[in-house]
Amino acid sequence: MTRLPVLAVSTVALTAAALLTGATAGAASPPFTASVFRATHNSYSGDVDGAKNSLAYQLDHGVRFLELDIHDNGYATTHDYGVGHGSPGDLVDHGGGNPASDNLRDWLTTIGTWSAAHPAAAPIVVMLDLKDDLTDNPDFAAGNLAAVNQELESVFGSRLLRAQDYPAGQPTVDALRGRVLALLSGNGTSRAGYKRDVGYHPAVALNGHGQIVEVHDSGAGALWYWTGTYGADGRVTWLRHGRYDSGQTPAVALDDNGDLVEVHQSPSATTLWYHVGKLGADGEITWQASHQYDNGVLPTVAFTDATHLREIHRSQSSSQNWTWTGTLSGTTVSWSGNAKTSDARFATDTATAAGRLVDVWTGADGPTPSNTLRVDTDRVAGDRIRYRQVAFDEFQQGDSAELQQGALFYGAPATESSFITAARQSGKLVRGWDFDSSGDATTPLANYPATNHPYDAWYQTLVTRNGAVE
């Protein structure tokens, strides 16, 4: 629909907007997705870029959508992400009570402190604009997306409304007051990697405590793992993810003590290698160095008791299977008894323990790639192997269909009126960024008209007339 300057908005349009947002006198709390909220663009930049003042000042003056641009450049040193536009510290306003550092945790804590002190406030959306690709960070310690989840949950605690817990139907604003919602924007590879993972030759192990280790190869020589737990509802909650070596066709065995042995074939030859690892209570694996133990292809492995294993693989030159007996001692395995065998190789994609079953496989889930990693249990079928959905994932104009699938939040430059209007009419929560003129107004208005000048008269008039909620 046509964009209208605020002063040209008709009485009919204003009435419609008021009804849409529940702004009429005595109206019940409006649906969250039908409401308008004050929002800022590059909120961390305060008065360095625009006229926004500090985060606390913005919140005090009704802003309920804050944007933090983050980078992973210095994660290895700071163990945190850096806030800034082009780089950590770029265009960051440290004045007015904003944090003195560029560390994301400090900025989130500022928001969390304000939220805790204002439990009746309308829900606050904290958008993390990912300026870097986080999927190339090899593990949690290097700042992958599991670390983002952990930081959000540790700072906001019970006030954080995780995407996976978003209420069905049409929750009202009042039902969400006091809550914080995290939103991932920016780097498209990271946003897609948060919603699903891809790989080849997935293999899984499950122990009697319901702990799970999955391993797979990238198809290009990298080996990756996921760890998780089998829950009371029969679903797998995935905890940690990382790269641990180079190779292909991996397999893994896991005992009730959290000891694991992984075997794989080299990425470009027929040598066979193994790792010993230890699964921690937090889901992280401490990996030991790899060691070659034979030549062959398609290795498989299983524990036969607490300290003994059996490995079966196929010859690199025929269909003959060969076997080894292994003894786990500390951080290494002693292999013995190498011989031909008529026994089949162990199943790698299915594991059972204590009456539970987990099966891993690859397959498209709607618009996702055909090598999307999937998991079935004896009670739930077809889940994705992916990060816990703590944050929401924004769909932006021009993104792929898989990023649009299931998305609640949409985003586009404020000038893209047709995208904003269509998304609003379909019941989405829409952000229009660089919203710096009344001429950017659409009917209906973006839920989050993100501006650099939130206190200008034109902006205040616009959001007030559209029933902005605080």
Percentage of residues in the chain with pLDDT exceeding 70? 94
Angle between helices 145-156 and 104-117 (to 10 degrees): 30
Q: Which amino acid is at 199?
A: G
Q: Identify which has the larger pLDDT, 2 or 321.
A: 321
Token pair belonging to 269 = 């030859």
Q: Are 285 and 266 within 8 A, CB to CB? A: no
User: Is residue 392 within 8 Å of 163, Cβ to Cβ?
Assistant: yes
Token pair in block for residue 374: 């999937």
CA atoms within 13 A on the CB side of 21: 25
In this prediction, residues 441-464 reach a mean pLDDT of: 98
Q: How far does the chain reach from its first CA to its final CA, in angstroms?
A: 27
Query: What tokens does 13 get?
Result: 């349009």
| pLDDT tens figures, 387-421 | 999 999 999 999 999 999 999 999 999 999 999 99
Tens of pLDDT along 82-97? Answer: 999 999 999 999 999 9
Instruction: For residues 5-30, give the mean pLDDT.
Output: 42
**Alpha carbon distance 465, 6 (integer Å):** 9
2 pLDDT band, cuts 50/70/90, is very low
Domains and CATH numbers, the chain: 32-193+389-466 (3.20.20.190), 198-384 (no CATH)
Model confidence at 365, pLDDT cuts 50, 70, 90, reads very high
How far apart, in Å, are the Cα atoms of 459 and each of 14, 61, 441?
15, 13, 10
Residue 230: which residues within 8 A CB-CB, separation 6 or more?
206, 210, 211, 212, 236, 356, 358, 377
Judge contact between 128 and 182, C-beta under 8 A.
yes
Residue type at position 453: H
pLDDT for the residue numbered 79:
97
User: Once rounded to an integer, what is the mean pLDDT over residues 94-111?
Assistant: 98
In the chain, the amino acid numbered 423 is: A
Token pair for 395: 């769909």
Question: Quick one: average pLDDT of 40-61?
Answer: 98
Q: Per-residue confidence at 147, pLDDT binned at 50, 70, 90?
A: very high
pLDDT at residue 258, rounded to an integer: 98
Asked if the model's pLDDT at residue 18 lies above 90, the reply is no
